[in-house]
Amino acid sequence: MTDSLIRGRLLSFKRAPLAMTDTDSYLYEHDGALLVSGGRITATGDYAQVKAQATADVEEIDHRPHLILPGLIDTHVHFPQMQVIASYAGNLLEWLNTYTFPEECRFVESDHATRIATHFYDEFLRHGTTTAVAYCSVHKTSADAFFAEAMKRNMCMVGGKVMMDRNAPQGLLDTAEMGYDETRAVIAEWHGKGRNHVAITPRFAITSTPGQMKAAEALAQEFPDLFIQTHLSENHDEIKYTAELYPEATDYTDIYARYGLLGKKTLLGHAIHLSEREADALSEAGSIAVHCPTSNLFLGSGLFPLKALRRREKPVRVSVATDIGGGSSYSMLKTMDEAYKIQQLLGERLNPLESYYLMTRGNAEALGMEADIGTLDIGSMADLVILDAGSTPAMRLRMETVKTLPEELFLLQTMGDDRAVVETYVAGKAMKTGLGGDEMQTG
C-alpha cells in the first residue's frame, strides 16, 4: 500500500481542557497534514514539513478547508437494537419488555445478525465513528456476526455476548453455565483477532441471577485484561426492583462490587442516580460511568451530572456514548449537543473543547487505548473523521459569523449530523465514500 498524505485542519487533544481558553490542551494546525503508512500516522503537523518527509509517490488527499479529527469513539451501543430506535415507551422497563427484548430474539438467526452487522458498521462510518463498545444479543451468533464484520473493515471494536438468565423472554435467556461457556468461546474465537476486543457482558443485575453473576466473576478473574460492561442506576423503577432482587447489597453499585466486577476496565452504562457512597466506590475502583445523553432524555431516565462527577474530590471517570437504540442518534455530535443541554439544565457549562476531547481522546483514555486511537499522534492508527462545519445551507450561513475554533466546533456540535461527515478513515483507508445507503431494504 502506498503512503498517503492527508491535508486539512488538524485538531487533536493532548489532555482534558480545563477551560475554553486552555489552548495548551490541544494541537491545532491550520494548514496541517498527516502522513499515513501501513495504517498508522507516521508524521503530523504543518503541511510543508510533513510533505518534506513523504516519498515522491505519496498519494495526496486534500480535505481543506475541513477539519481532520481522530475518528469518534462511542463507548456504549447495542448492536441488536438498530430496529428498536424510535420506539414509543414511557420508561426503560416498558421499553425493554415491549420492544427491545422481542427484537433481540431475532438475533438467534445468523442471517439476520449478519445483515444487521453490515448496516451497523455502515451507519457508524457514515457518522464518523470508528470505534464502538457494543452489547451483542444473548446469542453467540450475534457476537460472531459483529466481530466478523468488524474484521472485514479492520475496525477497532469492543463487544460482548450478553449474559442474561432471568426476567426476559425464553428466547433471550442463557443459563449461568451457558453464559460462561459461550463467553469463553467468543473470547477464544475473536479476542485479539484483527482489532477485536471481547468484553464480559452481564446485561444488568435484573437479568442475571446470583449464579450468573458468579459466572461473570469467574470470567473476570480468568481474563483480567478484558473489558467488563453492564448497566447501572438508569431509572428509579429499575433501581427499586434491583434492590429487591439483591437485598443483601448496600446499593446497586455494591452488587457489582460483591461479584468482583468493578475495576479499571469496567464500563457502567448510564449510572445516573448514584449516591455519594456509590460515586466514591466507582472512583476508588477506577470504573467508568458512561454518559448516554440522547437515551437518558428519550427514555426520561434522568440528568447525568457529568461535570459534578468529574470535579469531585474523588472524581469519577466518565465517557460518552449513543446507547443505540435507547439513544436516538448515531451521531456523536448530536450526542454531545444533548450532553450540553443536560448540563445547562443542571446549571453547568460543558464547553465545546471538553465535548470534542470526550468523544475522541477522552473516550480512548476511558478504554486505555489512547496510544492507538483518539489522537492524531505519531504511532496512532489513522482512524480519522473529516468534518465540515458548513455542511448545510443554515450552517454555511452561520459560519459567516463564526470567528474562533471553539465557535466552529460548537456550531458543528449543535447543528451537525452525518451530513457534516465528509469522510471517515479506518487505518488510513477512506470508508465513507460508496457506503450502500440506497440499498437498504424497506420491506
Nearest residue to Zn ion, scored by beta-carbon proximity: 269
User: Residue 228 CB, nearest distance to ligand GUN (Å)?
Assistant: 15
Q: Which does 234 bind (CB under 5 to 8 A by kind): Zn ion, ligand GUN, none?
A: ligand GUN
Q: Rule CB under 6 A: which of 291-310 touch ligand GUN?
A: 295
Which residues fall within 8 angstroms of residue 440, CB to CB, at 6 or more apart? Answer: 119
Closer of 235 and 391 to Zn ion (Cβ): 235
Tell me: cis bond preceding 17? Omega within 30 of 0 counts.
Answer: no
User: Residue 341 CB, nearest distance to Zn ion (Å)?
Assistant: 20
Closer of 164 and 219 to ligand GUN (Cβ): 164
Q: Check binding of 8 to Zn ion (CB under 5 A).
A: no
For the purposes of burial, counting CB atoms within 10 Å of the CB of 440, is it exposed (0-12), middle (13-18) or buried (19 or more)? exposed
Tell me: cis bond preceding 325? Omega within 30 of 0 counts.
Answer: yes
Per the structure block, which three cell numbers stand in for 365? 483514555
DSSP string, 67-133: EEEEPEEEEEEEGGGTTTTT---SSHHHHIIIIIHHHHHGGGSHHHHHHHHHHHHHHHHHTTEEEEE
Closer of 9 and 334 to ligand GUN (Cβ): 334
Q: Check binding of 203 to ligand GUN (CB under 6 A).
A: yes
Q: Check binding of 202 to Zn ion (CB under 5 A).
A: no
Closer of 5 and 290 to Zn ion (Cβ): 290
Q: Check binding of 76 to ligand GUN (CB under 6 A).
A: no
Query: Contact 162/135 with Cβ under 8 angstroms?
Result: yes
Nearest residue to ligand GUN, scored by beta-carbon proximity: 326
Q: Check binding of 100 to ligand GUN (CB under 6 A).
A: yes
Q: Check binding of 119 to ligand GUN (CB under 6 A).
A: no
Closer of 268 and 382 to ligand GUN (Cβ): 268
When binding is defined by CB under 6 A, the residue of 204, 259, 410, 425 that contacts ligand GUN is 204
What is the spatial distance between Cα 160 and Cα 203, in angstroms, rounded to a whole number?
Answer: 10
Strand partners of residue 4: 36, 59
User: Residue 83 CB, nearest distance to Zn ion (Å)?
Assistant: 16
Closer of 51 and 106 to ligand GUN (Cβ): 106
What is the spatial distance between Cα 43 and Cα 214, in angstroms, rounded to a whole number?
Answer: 47
Q: Check binding of 326 to ligand GUN (CB under 6 A).
A: yes
When binding is defined by CB under 6 A, the residue of 231, 317, 361, 432 that contacts ligand GUN is 231
What is the contact mask toward ligand GUN in residues 235 to 274, using x (rule: CB under 6 A)? ----------------------------------------
Strand partners of residue 425: 384, 430
Grid cell 507516521 is found at 42
Closer of 17 and 325 to ligand GUN (Cβ): 325
Mapped onto helix, strand or coil, the DSSP state of residue 31 is: strand
Q: Check binding of 269 to Zn ion (CB under 5 A).
A: yes
Name the packing angle between helices 110-126 and 140-152 (round to 10°).
40
Closer of 3 and 323 to ligand GUN (Cβ): 323
Question: For Zn ion, which stretch binds (CB under 5 A), given 192-200, 263-271, 308-316, 407-415?
Answer: 263-271
User: Residue 85 CB, nearest distance to Zn ion (Å)?
Assistant: 13
Query: Contact 185/226 with Cβ under 8 angstroms?
Result: no
Closer of 92 and 318 to ligand GUN (Cβ): 92
Question: For ligand GUN, which stretch binds (CB under 6 A), given 50-58, 92-100, 305-313, 352-360?
Answer: 92-100
Query: Contact 167/206 with Cβ under 8 angstroms?
Result: yes
Strand partners of residue 347: none
Residue type for 321, please?
A
Closer of 332 and 381 to Zn ion (Cβ): 332
What is the spatial distance between Cα 270 and Cα 222, in angstroms, rounded to a whole number?
Answer: 27
The site for ligand GUN, by CB under 6 A, has a size of 11
Which residues fall within 8 angstroms of residue 205, CB to CB, at 6 or more apart? Answer: 213, 230, 242, 245, 246, 252, 255, 256
Per the structure block, which three cell numbers stand in for 225? 485484561
Q: Check binding of 325 to Zn ion (CB under 5 A).
A: no
When binding is defined by CB under 6 A, the residue of 3, 149, 165, 234 that contacts ligand GUN is 234
Considering only the C-alpha atoms of the chain, give the largest distance between any 2 of them, rounded to a whole number of Å: 69
Query: Contact 339/323 with Cβ under 8 angstroms?
Result: no
Q: Check binding of 323 to ligand GUN (CB under 6 A).
A: yes
Chain positions contacting Zn ion, by CB under 5 A? 269, 323
Chain positions contacting ligand GUN, by CB under 6 A? 78, 92, 96, 100, 203-204, 231, 234, 295, 323, 326
